[in-house]
Structure 1
């Protein structure tokens, strides 16, 4: 097998030494290690096709990998086989300002994309302060919630090129036709692109992707609103989004805000934990490119009308933190290309539980999560809570971050049990786990027999030899 793979991608791009295999056999999740047989690093789409065709011929599992860091077990090779590391495919192929989109390969990271878009006065639709090594393509395909909750950005994916599990090449939407701008995802026929969203690499390997971008603000203002309870945030966000006010809009609890702002300084973290309110709504009003100041003025006026009606007070800071507005805007507009990941500055990792719900239920789900954490003797002040409105407040993504030291086996087992028990309870109570990683897959699919059977039938059609990331989702 090694000889054939070297002929496809070159000898130096085929790795089977113990150190490399150990690296790819684990991630920052609580899932047990799974060791691959070999790692290959293709540079071109044609090489990916040849690797997949070889895997079909030898019935060898293939697991695609794009990011340099992994949190949820999606890239652990359940049945061994070949890891296809796409990080060498790291070109930004096109920046289309007219259609506000960009065409990227799998190895492009969010900081790389942010910097490349700056001269074109565009910004990417990135999730909450992503890890510097996270693939922008993977985040978009896996439907991570974006910070700007506009209807048109509910799904940032446009068209894509996919190597199917048979090794054949497939393009979605208008990319399937010649001489188009590749800007529309629908078709040919049915909306094929949806088969590949949230599929964890089980239905195809995406080799480039067109995703939407937003205008880079010329002028902008950040506002902060303090709340004592998460349920009190729902009405203000509903009204703000109904009036189409603002770009970025999200809620962090005291723990996550202190972690973000303290930059690894333990004393500053402790100080912020003592001063910050329990929950903070962050709203950025931005104007670009036409009449930006006028836009900011009327959106700010609308915000103040809503605030007066609902009796809350938008501020330029919270807890008297000097320069907070400028700090937050700088962090949103300039993603660091290296350094530590902000969420793991004080712990080896955080085990995140995330799902979709409606904002009026977010408070109840949070009470449940904190209650379970307390039962497992976890300091509830160290549990992160992040609420991200979706599609103008139609729904929201709610995330709980459980701190965990992976080197401590006792603590790791305690967090694992909490993670499983709490997830089961949340699903039972109506939380929609739209990205069922690891143990969530069984919790979700055993509750949806007809849907699960349909997915399995589709898998047989797309992947007759069952080689792409077997063991994930319901496959």
Structure 2
């Protein structure tokens, strides 16, 4: 047993630290197209104290560390680019506080979104948080590390906009808190303290989030999915603008896909309306279709496809594995809503060149302030040719995002390099200085957001 492995065992116990190859294999790959990258150790701390001890050990030995949440980013962001220690945070999953009147919840960052949803449904049915549209195993910390978005993006914004406070273990092993919790005033706001935006969106390259306060929102008793369809993609931005103007929808998504055939070359706009009574839902339907979208219906531009109860909240990650080979990966982009038509056309062309049925989706963020647009590429894990086609399509799409002046969302290493090449020189210098100050030994998820 190596000295590092023995020290990890001393910290967390023999059951939660390993250097055995059969267990490291699980952590050497994710669900996307990235080539396997092997860690030398994996450790699963249960407490902040244990996590601090692991980080201090890594800092002293200059061993790279990679924090891991649910492992669902698909883009290789939690693969060990330079070996070292994978820190699996899923045992740090406590719910610490729920303030019903203040509408916030304080949790450990390794908790899954599914666990939060289940807990709130059982104990606080009038409250909900923003789910990322990923499988329920996706973790809070992992979602924040990539500037995640979720099903309350319209009208509330990114999930990182819903943070009231953070506790972070720094690369030195020290703890820092941000928000009202930093001055001992509780976990209810990030304002009006000085902004220290050093951890959200950094993929764990500056520190490891351990505790989070998230805003909660009213959870209505009834939910329904109202589907509106248009044939011409040029009308999608206008329709989304009209619906968002009402300010009534809980979620707003436009999608088109080659499979199933009924969706091919059509654009389905999912309008999630909620209410505490049938009368409230009926009013929202009336305002949406009889008032706001009436001109599109009368002119034949679009029409209502269906109105049905939506018992579960939408998981957009379910929409793309048409190869039935167990794999898909996507490029996400944050773009203006007006970019939807070009994104759809160019994306379907890339899919066609690589023999992949196209699947595109745009989720409105804010009141049409922007859109998370994604291009999904399915592949068969047992067929190297389809994996290569998907990987090439992903790289083409990263380049497309830069060409149309979008911003790549949760970019893999290839996409990060494209963005860094275009980054403002002043921002690059500041990123480099921040990394140097916080992580002088370069141990935190090295390879991610590396500035030469």
Q: Would the TM-score normalized by the shorter structure come out above 0.5?
A: yes
**TM-score normalised per structure 2:** 0.90
Shift of 1:88: 0.9
For the residues of structure 2 that align with 1:405 and 1:64, how far apart are their CA atoms?
Answer: 28
SS in 2 for 1:309: helix
Q: Please point out which of 356, 371, 375 is paired with 1:396.
A: 371
For the residues of structure 2 that align with 1:295 and 1:325, how far apart are their CA atoms?
Answer: 15
SS in 2 for 1:60: coil
**TM-score normalised per structure 1:** 0.86
Change (3 A) 1:341 1:301: closer
Establish whether residue 471 from structure 1 lines up as the match of residue 447 from structure 2. yes
Contact preservation (8 Å) 1:224, 1:281: yes
Unaligned runs of at least 5 residues, structure 1:
259-271, 318-323
Q: Please point out which of 82, 86, 89 is paired with 2:89.
A: 86
Establish whether residue 332 from structure 1 lines up as the match of residue 313 from structure 2. yes
Shift of 1:444: 0.5
SS in 2 for 1:396: strand
Shift of 1:294: 5.9
Change (3 A) 1:61 1:187: farther
The residue aligned with 1:243 is 246
The residue aligned with 2:396 is 421
Q: Please point out which of 332, 337, 348 is paired with 1:354.
A: 332
Establish whether residue 435 from structure 1 lines up as the match of residue 410 from structure 2. yes
Alignment deviations for residues 277-308 of structure 1 (CA, whole Å, 9 cap, x no partner): 722111122235xxx56654543332121111
Alignment deviations for residues 293-338 of structure 1 (CA, whole Å, 9 cap, x no partner): 6654543332121111333666361xxxxxx612xx11218x8xxx
For the residues of structure 2 that align with 1:61 and 1:227, how far apart are their CA atoms?
Answer: 50
Establish whether residue 145 from structure 1 lines up as the match of residue 149 from structure 2. yes
Alignment deviations for residues 371-391 of structure 1 (CA, whole Å, 9 cap, x no partner): 122223x14xx2211110111
Alignment deviations for residues 244-302 of structure 1 (CA, whole Å, 9 cap, x no partner): 121121122245xx6xxxxxxxxxxxxx53477722111122235xxx56654543332
For the residues of structure 2 that align with 1:241 and 1:8, how far apart are their CA atoms?
Answer: 51
Contact preservation (8 Å) 2:156, 2:365: no
Alignment deviations for residues 326-352 of structure 1 (CA, whole Å, 9 cap, x no partner): 2xx11218x8xxxx9664472321120
Alignment deviations for residues 84-142 of structure 1 (CA, whole Å, 9 cap, x no partner): 111111112222221222112233212211110113022220122x1132113322342
Contact preservation (8 Å) 2:155, 2:250: no
The residue aligned with 1:315 is 304
Q: Please point out which of 375, 385, 391 is paired with 2:353.
A: 375
Q: Please, what is the CA RMSD of the aligned residues?
A: 2.2
1:52-451 aligned at under 5 Å gives the runs: 52-118=55-121, 119-121=123-125, 122-128=127-133, 130-154=134-158, 155-178=161-184, 180-186=185-191, 188=193, 190-192=194-196, 194-255=197-258, 272-274=260-262, 278-288=266-276, 295-303=280-288, 304-311=290-297, 315=304, 317=306, 325-326=308-309, 329-332=310-313, 343-344=320-321, 346-376=324-354, 378-379=355-356, 382-448=357-423, 449-451=425-427
For the residues of structure 1 that align with 2:376 and 2:410, how far apart are their CA atoms?
Answer: 16
The residue aligned with 1:265 is none
For the residues of structure 2 that align with 1:187 and 1:163, how far apart are their CA atoms?
Answer: 23
The number of aligned residues is: 437
The residue aligned with 1:320 is none
The residue aligned with 1:20 is 23
Shift of 1:174: 0.4
SS in 2 for 1:325: strand
Contact preservation (8 Å) 2:75, 2:411: no
Contact preservation (8 Å) 1:140, 1:156: no
Structure 1 outlier segments of 4+, above 6 Å? none
Change (3 A) 1:161 1:34: same
More strand by share: 2
Change (3 A) 1:275 1:43: closer
Unaligned runs of at least 5 residues, structure 2:
none
Contact preservation (8 Å) 1:132, 1:341: no
